[in-house]
Chains A and B, each alone.
Chain A
């Protein structure tokens, strides 16, 4: 475990949440890696200032109220709006920032995108491996130095101190649910908060899209699960309000009791419960 000596740990309160960094510098010098963490935090605060819809004077707020045009705001804003448009199309409208009360609201995508930007700062500095966790939206770089994949616990929807399962995503993971701050979770077709989904997790390459799809999965449940099946490289794990679980076939669950150095093929046979251990058993589990 001596390799964990190289971890730089940092927590940063920003964007109304706390962003946790785990950075393994690798060939990058310790000082450079620390400087990169500082830069990444500055970038997060900058993006928070651009995009906050809770601050009436932010460029995003001024754009929403029509006081600034798209050409007058920082270029990140039109970029994120375009990403929102693409995510809306990919999710067949189940992720729809334009259906939110009070005008276009990128909340369901912008935090994931910002966390991705923070990870990009670390990557550009030459950091070998890193995890950036923005209030539950996680972007991953490389592999942890102890070997094997990053192992990410999915919070149990009804217990803050328990995990529903442990996943091994290789780039990005996000979870949506109403048990924390779920104000952006509105069904764009009914205008109501979802009642059938307890927890919706997506993994994939882009945290922006993963974040948006997790929101879509939370509001639409099984319909978006079907949709994710058709997206190459993206997987879904759903806990319904009745406690039943469902995952797409390619979702990688960490095997219980397996040494992390040997978890090269961590897939789980259909029907087998994901990692027991700390897991509080839900009602049933199906995998297609």
Chain B
């Protein structure tokens, strides 16, 4: 399949910004995991506090260098997560979970499902940038396997 550098680059830049990536050199851990409690549980009937991120823009990278960085720990709706992104040039070559703290097995599943899905999306992709995903209504369980949960997890 023909690659689409423009799209990949914008995806990489977008993800990097979202993940607060500071790719100044190989394997730069940026944030120690926090120990704060997650803000919500899926069984809650009350709205939980909105979570948000304030990422800083990525710094420039040397072309061809394999760089990886761990984003700051983010309050995801189901816990605290940090994600490790590996970039070659302007292409993301891997996305993994660096640290994950969740209150229960459900939340654990959310993150563990979402990241492989996003990884697949990013890597097989030459992915088009998307803001959201529409599909047949999923249950709370089905959400685990949805691309929307991957986008939410990474605050894309």
A116 proximal to B (CB < 8 A)? no
User: Which residues in B have their C-beta under 8 angstroms from that of A160?
Assistant: 117, 145-147
Residues of chain B within 8 A (CB-CB) of A265 are: none
- A11 to B57 Cα, complex, angstroms: 24
How long is the Cα–Cα vector from A182 to B10 in the complex, in angstroms?
A: 36
Selected from B7, B50, B145, the residue in CB contact (under 8 A) with A277 is B7
**Of residues 117 to 156 in B, which have CB atoms within 8 Å of A's CB atoms?**
117, 120-121, 124-140, 142-143, 145-149, 151-152, 155
Is the CB of B36 closer than 8 A to any CB of chain A?
no
Contact B140 A16 (CB under 8 A): yes
- B124 to nearest A CB, angstroms? 6
Distance of A40 Cα from B14 Cα, bound (Å): 28
Is A153 an interface position by the 8 A CB rule? yes
Instruction: Return chain B residues, CB-CB under 8 Å to A177.
Output: 135-136
CB neighbours of A199 from chain B (8 A): 135-136
B20 to chain A, nearest CB (A): 10
Complex CA–CA separation, A201 to B13 (angstroms): 30
Most B CB within 10 A of own CB, among A9, A45, A162:
A9
Main secondary structure of the interface of B (DSSP, over half): loop
Residues of B within 8 A of A131 (CB): 131-132
Residue B65 at the A interface, CB < 8 A? Answer: no
- Are B42 and A13 in touch, CB under 8 angstroms? yes
- Which of under 10, 10 to 19, 20 to 34, or 35 or more describes the interface residues of A? 35 or more
Q: How far is the CA of A180 from the CA of B51 in the complex (A)?
A: 27
Q: Which residues of A contact B55 (CB under 8 A)?
A: 4-5
Q: With CB as the reference atom, state the residue of chain B lying closest to A23.
A: B50
Q: How many residue pairs, one in A and one in B, have C-beta atoms under 8 Å apart?
A: 196
B134 touches A137 (CB 8 A): yes
Interface string of A244-262 (1 = CB under 8 A from B): 0000000000101111100
Q: A152 interface residue, CB < 8 Å from B?
A: yes
**A161-B147, A181-B142 known; A10-B50 Cβ under 8 A:** yes
Which residue on A lies nearest to B14, using beta carbons? A1
Query: Which residues of B62-90 are within 8 A (CB) of A?
Result: 77-78
| Distance in Å: Cβ of B57 to nearest Cβ of chain A | 5
Shortest distance from the beta carbon of B85 to any chain A beta carbon, whole Å:
14
- Interface presence of A204 (CB below 8 A): no
B residues in contact with A260, CB < 8 Å = 10, 129
CA–CA, A175 to B130, complex, Å? 16
Q: At the interface, yes or no: A2 with Cβ under 8 Å from chain B?
A: yes
CA distance A18 to B45 in the complex (A): 12
A181 to B138, alpha carbons, bound, how many Å?
6
> Is B128 a contact partner of A155 (Cβ separation < 8 A)?
no
Q: Is the C-beta of B105 less than 8 angstroms from some C-beta in chain A?
A: no
**Chain B CB within 8 A of A163 CB:** yes
Asked if A8 CB lies within 8 Å of chain B CBs, one says: yes
Known: A45-B45, A163-B130. A277 touches B4 (CB 8 A): yes
Verify B133–A133 contact, CB threshold 8 A. Answer: yes
Cβ–Cβ < 8 Å partners of A201 in chain B: 134
Closest 3 CB pairs between A and B? A155-B135, A41-B47, A177-B136
**5 more CB-based (< 8 A) A-B contacts, given A9-B52, A17-B142, A153-B128:** A13-B43, A37-B50, A135-B137, A277-B127, A278-B128
